[in-house]
Amino acid sequence: MDLSIVVPIYNEVDNLRPLCERVHAVLAPTDWSYELILIDDGSQDGSSELLAELHAEDDTLKVLRFRRNFGQTAALAAGFEYAQGDVIVSLDGDLQNDPIDIPRLLAKLDEGYDLVNGWRVNRQDPFLHRRLPSQIANHMISLTTRVKLHDYGCTLKAFRREVAKGLKLYGEMHRFIPALAGDMGARIAELPVTHHARKHGTSKYGLTRTLWVVLDLLTVKFMSSYATRPSHLFGFLGLIAVLVGGGITTVLGIQRLLFDVQLANRPILLLGILLLVTGVQLVTTGLIAEMLARTYHESQEKPVYWIKDVLE
């Protein structure tokens, strides 16, 4: 199998038939062997039944049906897990991404990249509550993670199999796929793609998503920089606090014991004690995090490295 197309579907009943037709219109004339994997993320609008119908008519179509709505990230993760192709392409099921771009993505991938990310140059979504928050999120992600792109939210992407399969996706992390792939050492490129306004159905996201991005960013940053050495982060802050706190309390202690200075009216005493206590706590948190990091990697046999290839 050359190619797997992975599409998350949540309440997209009017888009399903045209989606399948467009994908086939683009891929059938090529000589690639491909499968189209649609993941029904607990739809309640009849998508689920329609998918069964479409599946009966179409050999290349594979349908995974979730028991309930688990979210777009989970749907993508399930599709990646199930996919058999050497190259995996993900796209939205609402016809906002256009399958017509798939051959260009694959050509770009062939130039020697592991992930080609779509960039919705002319994004057809409302400005105030969709494009603006998305631009802010893109800037933040670009500043914080080591992968610099314009449009992290675009689902249209092409992956080499190992990269898609190596991603560990949680919560709403699909926006951070390039960052996560970057951590694996993947070579990443960006390609302008077409984007259409939504004709059928409604968007599943609102403004609150931007808030989650901030928190997710924190997680991704922490995981990518400190997952294998958390005590460096906590321990660093903790040591500074202990040093400053220790310094303050030592000076105050000498003043009190040797020079008989009264400490009851010295607020700085409180600061010194506070720093000492939080510092000790930070250092020990770092040690606990070290143990957790080992459990995290060893219990799931997660390597702390990614091998590109082996020359024997």
Binding site for ligand UDP (CB under 6 A): 8-10, 12, 41, 69, 71-72, 75, 92-94, 96, 203-205
Compute the least distance from the CB of residue 199 to Mg ion, in Å: 11
The smaller minimum CB distance to ligand UDP, of residues 69 and 144, is found at 69
Query: What is the Cα gyration radius of the chain?
Result: 25
Compute the least distance from the CB of residue 205 to Mg ion, in Å: 8
* CA atoms of 81 and 203, how far apart (whole Å): 25
152 binds, among Mg ion, ligand UDP, none (CB under 5 to 8 A by kind): none
The smaller minimum CB distance to Mg ion, of residues 15 and 48, is found at 15
Compute the least distance from the CB of residue 10 to ligand UDP, in Å: 3
Compute the least distance from the CB of residue 28 to Mg ion, in Å: 25
Compute the least distance from the CB of residue 241 to ligand UDP, in Å: 42
Asked if residue 134 binds Mg ion (CB under 5 A), the reply is no
**Which is it for the CA torsion 219, 221, 225, 229, positive or negative?**
negative
The smaller minimum CB distance to Mg ion, of residues 96 and 117, is found at 96
Asked if residue 11 binds Mg ion (CB under 5 A), the reply is no
The contact set with Mg ion (CB under 5 A) reads 92, 94, 96
